[in-house]
Structure formats: C-alpha cells, structure tokens
Structure 1
C-alpha cells in the first residue's frame, strides 16, 4: 500500500479507485467470497467519506458564515478523524487498501463547496452533511449486521451511534440556519 501511495503515478490516479483496484486484485488472487468483497467496498467507501468529512469540516471552520456551522465543522473534523483512524487500523490488520486521499468524486464535492461563500456555503455544506450522513448511517447499519468479517461488523456497530448523532446534529443546525433567514 505504501508503494502505491508514494509512486509517481499515484498523483494521477484516483485514490479511491486505486484502493478498490488493490482490494479487487488481492481478492482475485485469494479465494474470497462476495461478502468479503462487500466488506472491502464498505471499508473503502467509509474511509473516503470520512476523509471528505474531515476536509469539509476544515473548510467549514474557515468559511462558514455562522458560528453554529463553524462549530459543526470542527466537530466533524474531530469525530471523523477518530473514525478514520479506526478504519485505517482495521484495514491494515485485514490487509485491505484504503484511499490515500480524496477520490475524484470527493474532490469535485470539495471544489464545489470551496467556491461558495457566506450563507450559501453554510446551506450547501449542511445539505451535503445531511445527505452524506444519511448514506453513512444506512451503510454502517447494514454492515453492523451483515458484514462477513466480525471485526468490520464490530467497527460498524461501534460507530453507528456516532453517525446517527452527526445526522441529527446536521439536521438541527440546518433547521437553525433556515430560521435565521
């Protein structure tokens, strides 16, 4: 994994696609079930979403027009950094590759948000956080019950309440922002 992240080609490749490729290659070389493939996909998706949420949290700290959105961004940075660290440790233990940076899709979302200012930024950021956390809650909920690997099931179950809290908080801040207009 370190070789891929440090190679000169790495800057030209989508880190999410590269992590998926490495996992598919490993899975193809070994006799691994479809459920194990799903586990690997979940880990890549969770890591890429988590990285995006940390980066967008940093952006919200800098650009948000309202204190509540800045505070929410700080909270997302801190909380998702912890989840990301747990994902990386588990992926290393399981021999799975995770993206070394934001994928093309995540970079596009970041750039679109970075181009906005003021309340327009705040609204779009919160819309994105509500949508993203709703997807995360669904994925972590599914994997907390259906992951093939018990450790991945355990990780999903451990962080599911945190993600539900993030979704509720994002909706609450979104509602507060709607009231200030």
Structure 2
C-alpha cells in the first residue's frame, strides 16, 4: 500500500474510497440496490448504507492528514489544503454521525488498512516529496469518491442520505479544488489511477467494526470553522456545527 515514484510518475494503490463493496462483502452491482431497511425517511439500500460508512471512514484518515499537512507542508497552498481537510471533514462527520444514528448504521472508529496505509505513506515523507504525495493521493481518492457521491445522490430514495450526499458533494469538490491549487497534482497519473484502480482484498478495504461499548471518535471542528452541516429532516440543529450530544466522546484534534 502507498506510493511509488518511478521516473517521476506517481503510482499508488487505491480502492477503499472507490468501491461500494468496501465493507468486505463481494457483491454484484445490482445487490447495491437491495433494500435493507424501511425508514420514515425512505427506504435504505446497501449502497446508501455503504455510503454513510464511506463518509465516516474518509474523515478518519483525511482529518488527521490535514493536521499533518499544517506541520509538514512546505508551501502556503499545501497548508491551506490541510486546513480545508480539517474544517470540511469535521462538519461532514457531524452530519454523518447524526444520519448513522437515525438510520441505525454502525460506524467505524478507525479507517481501513488501505486508508491507514495512505496516511503512513504521506507522513513518512518530507519536503516537496511530502507535498507531492499529499496532493496526488488525496486528489485521486477525492476524484474517485466524487463519482460515488453522484451515483448515491441521483439514485437514493432516502432523504437523510440525500442530505448527506449534498454536503459530501460540496466538501469533496472543495477538497479536489484545493489539492489542484497546490500545483503538485500530476493529472495524467491521477486520472489514470481513478479509472484503473487495482483490485485489492476486501480486508484491506474494510474499516474494522468498533468494539462493543467503544465510545465514538469525534472529529473536532477548528476554532473558527467555515464549513457547516446541512439541514436534516426533523433536526432543528442542522445548518451549523452543533455539539454532538454523544457521551462519552473521545475527540481527535
């Protein structure tokens, strides 16, 4: 897992964010349309559930990378991209945890092994190599999940999932944009990796389930957040970055 530079070209393994089957179940594409629950907000499909988990897993590795970028980034643009990761995923995680609780979806507290590998690869580099690894890996992964968001938003019949997809779309587009503004993105390689991801074992793509009774990790918003949550049906607190109301809540940040 990770990155390898060959003749100046970036090569990386990718999969976790791009696949609805990331939960470790081998499924035909049509299985994602299977309704697994009827809720007051509309039917919930396997694709809907997997998307809620993906949003959580994305924040669990991209949020800490934002903090690393603030420390190790060598240019203002890389540090700005790190700020956007922290701000955007803190707000998105707040919405995601609310949606998961309302839909009775279990969320992970740790990213998948593949995603942890991304963090380790980026964090183990320094200087402009860090900047390049950071920008390219995150541009590829955000570009991949962008397509999944579009599919979920255009097909889901669940109003909570639609609201989450709206916020995720805005967040991911913002993160794609700030990665591109760093000037380190190799577009040919990024687009190639998005369209030809390697096939990896399900165990690498699956965030581990939380232990029974394990308190949920919360991604703490920055002191002056600019990203906001979206309005959820029946939730008057949406539209700001509210307190989570979960006790206890170990925080990251």
Q: 2:60 aligns with which of 30, 40, 51?
A: 51
Higher strand share: 2
Relative to structure 1, is the Cα distance of residues 176 and 50 closer, same or farther in structure 2, using a 3 angstrom cutoff? Answer: closer
Q: TM-score, normalised by structure 1?
A: 0.74
Shift of 1:35: 6.2
Shift of 1:69: 0.5
Q: 2:36 aligns with which of 32, 35, 51?
A: 32
Shift of 1:154: 2.1
Gap runs ≥5 in structure 2:
1-21, 25-34, 38-42, 187-253
Check the 8 A contact 2:52/2:100 in 1, yes or no: yes
Check the 8 A contact 2:73/2:127 in 1, yes or no: yes
Relative to structure 1, is the Cα distance of residues 122 and 175 closer, same or farther in structure 2, using a 3 angstrom cutoff? Answer: closer
Higher helix share: 1
Shift of 1:157: 2.0
Q: TM-score, normalised by structure 2?
A: 0.54
Shift of 1:158: 3.2
What is the DSSP-based 3-state SS (H/G/I as helix, E as strand, rest coil) of the residue aligned with 2:108?
coil
Check the 8 A contact 1:129/1:170 in 2, yes or no: yes
Tell me what 1:128 maps to: 137
Deviations 1:42-63 (A, max 9, x none): 1111211122110111111111
Q: 1:68 aligns with which of 59, 74, 77?
A: 77
1:93 aligns with 2:72: no
Relative to structure 1, is the Cα distance of residues 176 and 141 closer, same or farther in structure 2, using a 3 angstrom cutoff? Answer: closer
CA-based RMSD: 2.4
Deviations 1:49-107 (A, max 9, x none): 12211011111111111122012101211111110111011101110011112221111
Q: How many residues align?
A: 150
What is the DSSP-based 3-state SS (H/G/I as helix, E as strand, rest coil) of the residue aligned with 1:100?
coil
What is the DSSP-based 3-state SS (H/G/I as helix, E as strand, rest coil) of the residue aligned with 1:65?
coil
Tell me what 1:41 maps to: 50
1:79 aligns with 2:83: no
Q: Name the CA distance, whole Å, in 1 between partners of 2:110 and 2:144.
A: 20
What is the DSSP-based 3-state SS (H/G/I as helix, E as strand, rest coil) of the residue aligned with 1:32?
strand
Tell me what 1:152 maps to: 161
What is the DSSP-based 3-state SS (H/G/I as helix, E as strand, rest coil) of the residue aligned with 2:125?
coil
Worse-matched range after superposition: 139-148 or 55-64: 139-148
Check the 8 A contact 2:153/2:166 in 1, yes or no: yes
Gap runs ≥5 in structure 1:
1-18, 22-30
